[in-house]
Amino acid sequence: MPGAHPAVARAEHLLQLGRPDAALGLLGPDLTQQPDDADLLTCAAYAYLLKEDWGQAAELGRRASAADPDRDRPLRIQASALLRLGQVTDATALAHRAVQMAPDVYNSHLLYAQCLSGIPRSHEHAMAEARRSVELAPREPSAHIGLAQVAYPPEKIISPRRLDVAEQALQRALALDPQNSVAMNELARVRLRRSKRFGAMTGFSDALTADPQNQTALRNTGVVLGGFLKFAHVLILAAMLVSLVALDLDAGVGGRIAQAVVSVGVVGVVVWFVVRVRMAVPRRFQVFLREFARRDRWAVAWAGCLAAAVLLLLGALLLPADARGDADVSALVVVAGGVFCRRMWIVSRRRPRS
């Protein structure tokens, strides 16, 4: 119990204020004198958890549990840290023990659910635990967000029914805390999964307004823009192939007309895309583009190649036949394709994250 130790009580206060370093500084001298004090160890473990030092958090959580095996909080801290370290089985076992010890604490159920969602064929069990956590703390936004994250875990392809569950949970979380940046990001992620790309972009942008330090949301805007580039890439590549085939079949007026239709269509679609994105994130479009380019130089090269390909299409349309030549088109397609494929491979590994 935090109140039992003055240093622990002050440190807990500091942790609530998001100052784990200051809390650890406060706990240090007492921990030196009482290295097996469960209160001190638990508080320090939590501080390390906030500092995202999972190894230390797990170790101190373990020592706190050993010092006082009847407490659930050190178990939760240790399980959280182990989950982050990828030790899902150990984390699940600890979370299960925490649930048994404190069946009325929503945190325990939520953590157990998160652990279970990482284990194959445990989804229903995980959902049941997440729902139990919401039942225990219906006014707690984090419980609803937790349920959404269990319903729609990152890196997974899921059914639309689960997307509905996630969306409803997130809307409840936002009703409780309208400025919750995490919930906004998650909701945008759900929209993106439903292929509502422009809405997702708006959602990520809103999440950034609520918390400008939300790096996940910022990264996710990059994922959306990457998706747009991928779409544009496929479109341009298809247009080039159609154009080449049309010219091959008919080098005369018919081929030129087909080429013109394809080229104008591609340019129109690209312009429409840009306009829609600008509308989705008014005043932020350039900032997102800049951030996207800053974070990944490949994206700049990719976008540059796409722009060159569009220009080439238009050039092939406008220039006289003897001034263009087929080789430049093919060469650019090959070069651009190489860069694009590389880029696409990278992007395909980047799913929107929680």
Partner 1 sequence: MSNPLIESLTRAVEAAPGDVPLRLHLAELLVAAGQQDAAITQCAVALQHEPGNVAARALMGRAMAGPDGGTSVTPPPPEGTAAPAAAAPPVGPQPTPPSDPPAYGAPAPDSSPVSFDWTMAESDVSEVAPERMFVAGGDEQATDVPAWDVERTSLTLKDVGGMSQVKDRLTAAFIAPMQNPELRKLYGKSLRGGMLLYGPPGCGKTFIGRAIAGELGAHFINVGLADVLDMYIGASERNVADIFRLARANAPVVVFLDEVDALGQKRSLTRSSGMRTTVNQLLTELDGISGQNEGVFVVGATNQPWDVDPALRRPGRLDRTLLVLPPDQPARESIFRHHLAQRPVEGIDLGWLAKSTDGFSGADIAHVCETASEKALMEGVRTGVIRMIQMKDLKAALAEVRPSTGPWFDSARNVVQFANEDGTYNELRDYMKKNRKL
Residue 13 binds partner 1, judged by CB under 8 A: yes
Site string for partner 1, 217-246 (x = CB under 8 A): -x----------------------------
Secondary structure (3-state) at 158: coil
DSSP string, 294-345: HH-HHHHHHHHHHHHHHHHHHHHHHS-HHHH-HHHHHHHHHHHHHHHHHHHH
Nearest to 269 by CA among 228, 325, 323: 228
43 and 15 Cβ atoms separated by less than 8 Å: yes
- Rounded-to-integer distance, Cα 247 and Cα 269, Å: 22
Site string for partner 1, 127-166 (x = CB under 8 A): ----------------------------------------
Considering the complex, state which of residue 6 and residue 338 has its C-beta at the smaller distance from partner 1: 6
Amino acid at 194: R
Residue 287 binds partner 1, judged by CB under 8 A: yes
- Choose the stretch contacting partner 1; rule: CB under 8 A; options: 18-26, 86-94, 184-192, 322-330: 18-26
Considering the complex, state which of residue 143 and residue 218 has its C-beta at the smaller distance from partner 1: 218
Residue 9 binds partner 1, judged by CB under 8 A: yes
Task: Scan for tokens 């699940």, then name that residue.
Answer: 92
Residue 17 binds partner 1, judged by CB under 8 A: yes
Residue 209 binds partner 1, judged by CB under 8 A: yes
**Which of 10, 84, 350, 353 contacts partner 1 by CB under 8 A?**
10
315 and 285 Cβ atoms separated by less than 8 Å: no
How near is the Cβ of 191 to partner 1 at its closest, in Å?
A: 19
Site for partner 1 in 169-208 (CB under 8 A): 177, 179-180, 205, 208
- Choose the stretch contacting partner 1; rule: CB under 8 A; options: 101-109, 157-165, 190-198, 279-287: 279-287
Considering the complex, state which of residue 212 and residue 304 has its C-beta at the smaller distance from partner 1: 212
Nearest to 111 by CA among 90, 131, 95, 89: 95
- Rounded-to-integer distance, Cα 107 and Cα 240, Å: 55
C-beta neighbour count of 236 within 10 angstroms: 27
Nearest to 163 by CA among 127, 139, 194: 194
Residue 51 binds partner 1, judged by CB under 8 A: no
The C-alpha R_g of the chain, in whole angstroms, comes to 27
- Rounded-to-integer distance, Cα 64 and Cα 56, Å: 12
**Which of 1, 6, 159, 238 contacts partner 1 by CB under 8 A?**
6
Considering the complex, state which of residue 2 and residue 118 has its C-beta at the smaller distance from partner 1: 2
- Rounded-to-integer distance, Cα 311 and Cα 324, Å: 12
The site that binds partner 1 (CB under 8 A) totals a number of residues, namely: 24
Chain residues in the site for partner 1 (CB under 8 A): 3, 6, 9-10, 13-14, 16-19, 22, 177, 179-180, 205, 208-209, 212-213, 218, 283-284, 287, 291
